[in-house]
Amino acid sequence: MFVLVVGAGRVGSSVARSALAAGHDVSVVDEDPLSHERLEVGLEASWEDCGGRFTVGTGIEMEALRAAGVEEADVFIASTDGDNTNLTIAQIARKRYGIEHVIVRVLDPARSDWYAERHQLRTICPTKHAIEMFEAALSEAAGV
Amino acid sequence: MYVVIAGGGKVGLNLARELLGEGHEVTLVEGWRPRYLRIEQELEHAVQYGDATELWVLERAGIQRADLVVAVTGDDEDNMLICQVAKEKYLCSRIVARVNNPRNLQHFQLLEVAPAVSATDLILNLIEHDIPGHGMVHLLDLPDEQLEIIEVEVAEGAPAAGAQVADLNLPEGSLIISVLPPGERGFVPKADTVVNAGDEVLVVLDPGLEESITSQFNPNGAGR
């Protein structure tokens, strides 16, 4: 499977590394060349020697997406630090390139739900998970 | 009319002033606190503080009853998504989006956000309109309707120069809608109107017919 990851912060770089370790073809796009180093944390060899690809650019630049192989991608992961960038590039991946599996990080719970329902995107909302865990921890502390 | 404007920069603020001056009801949403405070001195309750890409901020601004939503922030992704939810979630009948980087226009079209206005493209069109060397100018593209309106200058010696409109050899799917003689008022031609060299004509046409039109009016691409 060919996985394209746009945004290699803490989340994106970890997901890219584990996808590579699981035997997938992985291509990463990030606007910051330093993110390349983050990808290599814990690896014995360079990202490229391990089989990964890296392109410097932003997700709404078509040249960067094409250079990263968007036309062949089976899975598209939008994991930049901006909801609006993620939601835009996720829709580009789906509508322009017909990628079926589009996974997108959305911090805003309301839009995470709406885009999942209306545009059939697989949204991941870290905020919702954090809220649930805080609530569980609070209940625990209160001895309920 | 009730208008929600996202983005209180130069475009948004001036738009709000003009619309308020014309008696419309306006809510401007600005997400940068210092700028919001400055605008609030002038617009008072007509400006709200918040990130207009968040649904609750849009709802607080009354997007459900807006007749028009205008997204003119400096960020194209924000403008696209604000207009997308305005249209699809809140069923707002009219939207206008600003395109900051003309390269992003294709994304606005992909997300079906229209009209999307790019100042760079507008200026470019004006430059192409005013600078000699272009025999033909695109005045209007209506991609959804599959129609264009072009302006073309009738060149000396062109097949159309001196001919009556009825005798012009124009392709199916095109029509002359105006003749503009130099220095005179334009008019809608009749079948016996004679088109002269130096006139400009406005033609409505199906996309793709430009070359067969210019071959009649301005075969060598000569301009003013």
Q: Where are the beta strands (DSSP E) in chain B?
A: 2-6, 25-30, 47-49, 68-71, 94-99, 116-118, 136-142, 147-153, 163-164, 174-180, 194-195, 200-205
pLDDT digits (tens, 9 = 90+) for B40-87: 999 999 999 999 999 999 999 999 999 999 999 999 999 999 999 999
Does residue B135 come out as left (phi exceeding 0), alpha (psi in the -120 to 50 range) or beta? alpha
Is residue B104 within 8 angstroms of chain A, CB to CB?
Answer: yes
**Would you call A91 and B88 a contact, using CB atoms and an 8 Å cutoff?**
no
pLDDT at A115: 97
Suggest the residue from B110, B112, B113 to mutate for an interface test with chain A (most A CBs closer than 10 A).
B110
Phi, psi angle pair for A63, to nearest 5°: -65, -40
Task: From chain B, pick out residues whose CB is under 8 angstroms from the CB of A82.
Answer: 77
Interface of B with A in 107-126 (CB under 8 A): 107, 110-111
Residues B103, B185 share a domain: no
* CATH number, residue A29: 3.40.50.720
- For chain B, the average pLDDT equals 91
Residues B88, B15 share a domain: yes
pLDDT digits (tens, 9 = 90+) for B11-20: 999 999 999 9
Task: From chain A, pick out residues whose CB is under 8 angstroms from the CB of B110.
Answer: 91-92, 95-96
In a domain, B127, yes or no: no
CA B11 – CA B13 distance, rounded (Å): 6
Number of C-beta neighbours around residue B65 at 10 A: 10
Q: Are A35 and A9 within 8 A, CB to CB?
A: yes
CA B35 – CA B9 distance, rounded (Å): 8
> In this structure, what DSSP letter does residue B175 have?
E
* CATH number, residue B26: 3.40.50.720
Selecting from A62, A95, A114 the residue whose C-beta is nearest the C-beta of B89 gives A114
CA B84 – CA A83 distance, rounded (Å): 14
Show the domain range for B207.
Answer: 135-217
Residues B103, B22 share a domain: yes
Question: Listing from the earlier edge strand, what are the strands of the sheet with B47-49?
Answer: B47-49, B25-30, B2-6, B68-71, B94-99, B116-118
Task: From chain A, pick out residues whose CB is under 8 angstroms from the CB of B55.
Answer: 108, 110-111, 114
Residues 6+ apart with CB under 8 A from A53: A25, A26, A27, A28, A68, A69
Residues B175, B89 share a domain: no
Residues B171, B107 share a domain: no
Write down the residue that tokens 């229209």 correspond to: B114
Q: How many domains does chain A have?
A: 1
> In this structure, what DSSP letter does residue B202 have?
E
Task: From chain B, pick out residues whose CB is under 8 angstroms from the CB of A6.
Answer: none
Residues B160, B65 share a domain: no
**Would you call B107 and A83 a contact, using CB atoms and an 8 Å cutoff?**
no
Tokens of B56: 């609750």
Q: What is the mean pLDDT of residues B150-172?
A: 90
Q: When comparing pLDDT for B129 and A18, which is higher? A: A18
Selecting from B77, B88, B106 the residue whose C-beta is nearest the C-beta of A85 gives B77
Residues B139, B34 share a domain: no
Q: Are B207 and B150 within 8 A, CB to CB?
A: no
In a domain, B147, yes or no: yes
Tokens of A127: 């905020």
Residues B209, B167 share a domain: yes
Report ipTM for this prediction.
0.90
Out of B88, B118, B148, a domain closes at B118
Task: From chain B, pick out residues whose CB is under 8 angstroms from the CB of A110.
Answer: 54-56
In a domain, B49, yes or no: yes
In a domain, B130, yes or no: no
Residues B98, B173 share a domain: no
In a domain, B167, yes or no: yes
Residue in A97, A110, A18 with CA at minimum distance from that of residue A59: A97
Show the domain range for A48.
Answer: 2-141
* CATH number, residue B208: 3.30.70.1450
pTM of the model: 0.77
Interface of A with B in 43-72 (CB under 8 A): 60-62
- For chain A, the average pLDDT equals 96
Q: How many domains does chain B have?
A: 2
Question: Would you place residue B215 in the very low, low, confident or very high pLDDT band (cuts 50, 70, 90)?
Answer: confident
In a domain, B128, yes or no: no
Residues B113, B149 share a domain: no
Residue in B75, B145, B74 with CA at minimum distance from that of residue B115: B145
